[in-house]
Amino acid sequence: MYTPEEQKQLFERSKSFLDTKNPVRSLPVEEQVAHLRKLINYHEWRYYVKNDPVISDFEYDQLFKYLEALEGEHPDLITPDSPTQRVSDDLIEDFSKVAHLTPMLSLGNSYDADDLKEFDEQIKRLLNMDMEEDIEYVVEPKFDGGSIALVYENDALLRGATRGNGEKGDEITANTRVIRSVPLKAGFSRKGVHKVELRGEVLIHKDRFKEINKQRAAEDLPLFANARNTATGGLRMKDPKEVAQRGLEAFLYTLGYAVDKEGNDLIQQFETHAESIAFLGELGFKVPKDGDELKVCKNISEVVDFCLKWEERREAYPYEIDGMVVKVNNRVLQERVGYTSHHPRWAIAYKFKAKQATTKLLSVEYQVGKIGSITPVAKVAPTQLAGVTISSISLHNEDFITEKDLRLGDSVLIERAGDVIPYIVKAMDELRDGSEQPLEFPRQCPINDTEEAVDLVRVEGEAAWRCPTCVCGAQDLQRMIFHVSKPAMNIDGLGKSLVERFYELGWVRTMADLYRLDYDKIATLEGFGEKSAANLKKAINKAKQSPIYRLLHSLSIHHLGQKVSKLLAAEIEHVLDLREWELEDYTNIKDVGPKVAENVMLYFKNERNIDILKEMEALGVNMQQTEADRPLVADESAPLFGKTILFTGSLQQMSRKEAQSKAEAAGAKNISAVSSKLNILVVGEKAGSKLKKARELGTVEILTEAEFLDLLAS
């Protein structure tokens, strides 16, 4: 898409615009806007398509904000293809149906080498070829996400749509525009093409999916079951801003329709499928990489080998795939082989071994979370799936049960998303014999074991039913388990099973009890001893000195995650200062919304909570703001401002944590892995694979510990 010389020029021009005193900012506004759009499009291509950025996120944001400012001052210069116009402020009221320019057909399936060889023989029969002749095929991943069709006219993105029934789909243009790997403008006209329709798959990177679920867990929200549903659900959200937050990506795998201004078909100017995919890659679309993800095979034997190779590396691939797609490469041969009403005869899917199985739904048990959320858990007949025996599966909430129409005694289809999370795909209602019993979600707390019944509540707009008061202690136990966990107070050696054990012994009932344990008694427990008890005491005493943002996060206040905990900790001298705060005191802080503000305010108006906090303070738990709670302030003159940094090996002059704190104070952002996003790697003694990988990348600045300290002092 860009020659090396063009990329060099774009990089240098970016640096010019980032320099507020550079003469480039004195150019006529129209020229500045045109340059900035080109620069931002280039950097989005580097980041979202090539996964290889050449400027920091901060620098990209500065360019974007400058363009926004210019367009704000000169709204007459705003065009639909400007990068600032990706996200619409309008909510989608309803999805209208639109017809695809050509039908989006399904694929026939194959499951082993024999099926592929039979497919090859069928193609040869349809073409009247000798069975010993070779046919050239192209093989690419079968992405497991949500199918989309993109229409471009006069080089501009005109429309995005879901697959629907293959003939018509839902129009989702506003949501498509926020997918940053989808160009708003592409140069089809250089091939004489006026209107095109592309086919692709919308996915979520596996790491991004984990991040989303980690955030949802921190906010005590139901976890998404798998990346595929998260991607397809994202496509149909009614607020494009929320769609943008999911970080969807789009791989394009077919150029399905291409005409000039007179309507003449131009598809055949691309002699092969591989050639058309390469063309899309040149235009800036995210496509399977030639030779790695996509391979042109000279015969079916090479196809089989490539498919088997990919089945082995499937789990290491950063996106969910459930097979490979095999296509006759030559377009003329494709047309000669033709289509059925269901699928093209010249293509077939090679499906990887299934990660699904059927089992029996025997019963449902209920669990309570730290904020009282009641989660139903299906108990199923033990079933082997992807190497693991499955006997329990989360049913998430009442809506999930209703949507799946689950009944006790049902035969159910289950799968393991990413070979990790078991999930019920559907009930096999065709196998029902009438003995199955509907599942009724309880309206009173099923966990409560006291004589006092507690009615469950469900907040409007939320899926979870909650027990509003903990009279039996079950929620207190879950809060204690979270309190000691790594994201919260991080008490080493005090995990879930040990908290449960202490609870069963009657030693702990509230968080305060965790700080007055009798270590002599603990030393007498089976599996313990004096040394183990002493180590636990040391870990708990260390946790007492934690910064207050950790304490705030550990309290299990609904929606209060680590980020907002840090924002609050930076504003108070003492945790109990929050007793005096009102709603507006919270919402005046940037990024603190009304829901979390109300929840925190109510928590600190509750006298039982205050009494527990006072007990904890009396037992030595820190309630005062620490240095770690104060926001680090670094301006643009800071030596590492806007840089990403990583430390590896054994540092001699400071601890890893001290080094990271120094880097943050100097304006850097600490990251955890070597990637194209890393700017600086600081190496200590016995640096290993991270140093090797950084050298291979060739874009990472490598510093010794002494050079790092010299840089901070400069």
- Span 430-439, mean pLDDT? 92
| pLDDT over 60 (residue 659) | yes
pLDDT of residue 303: 96
Would you place residue 511 in the very low, low, confident or very high pLDDT band (cuts 50, 70, 90)? very high
Tokens of 275: 């050639």
Buried b (16+ CB within 10 A) or exposed e, 129-162: eeeeeebbbbbbbbbbbbbbbbbbeebebebbbb
Positive or negative: CA dihedral 606, 611, 613, 614: positive
Would you place residue 89 in the very low, low, confident or very high pLDDT band (cuts 50, 70, 90)? low
Q: How far is residue 129's CA from residue 122's CA, in Å, rounded to a whole number?
A: 10
**How much is the pTM?**
0.53
Residue 395, SS3 per DSSP: coil
The residue ranking higher by pLDDT, 235 or 552, is: 552
Give tens-digit pLDDT for 44-78: 888 777 777 888 878 888 888 889 888 888 888 88
What are the catalytic residues?
142
What integer best gives the mean pLDDT of the chain? 89
454 Cβ neighbours under 8 A, 6+ residues apart: 444, 445, 448, 467, 468, 469, 471
List residues bridging with 339 in a β-sheet: 344
Question: Other C-beta atoms within 10 Å of 22: how many?
Answer: 12
pLDDT of residue 386: 61
pLDDT of residue 88: 62
Q: How far is residue 163's CA from residue 152's CA, in Å, rounded to a whole number?
A: 17
Give tens-digit pLDDT for 180-218: 999 999 999 999 999 999 999 999 999 999 898 888 888
Give tens-digit pLDDT for 599-648: 999 999 999 999 999 999 999 999 999 988 877 565 677 888 888 999 98
Give tens-digit pLDDT for 294-345: 999 999 999 999 999 999 888 889 998 989 999 999 999 999 999 887 789 9
Q: How far is residue 383's CA from residue 68's CA, in Å, rounded to a whole number?
A: 55
| pLDDT over 60 (residue 387) | no
DSSP string covering 144-203: -SEEEEEEEETTEEEEEEE-TTSSEEEB-HHHHHT-TTS-SB--GGGGT--EEEEEEEEE
Give tens-digit pLDDT for 462-497: 888 988 888 788 899 999 999 999 889 999 999 999
**Which strand (E) or helix (H) includes residue 71?**
helix 57-73
* Structural domains of the chain, ranges and CATH numbers in brackets: 4-85 (1.10.287.610), 108-351 (3.30.470.30), 356-438 (2.40.50.140), 474-544 (1.10.150.20), 548-629 (1.10.150.20), 644-713 (3.40.50.10190)
Give tens-digit pLDDT for 516-534: 999 999 999 988 999 999 9
Q: Which amino acid is located at 155 in the chain?
A: D
Angle at 262 between CA 257 and CA 263, to 5 degrees: 25
The torsion of the CA quartet 246, 251, 255, 258, rounded to 10 degrees, works out to 40
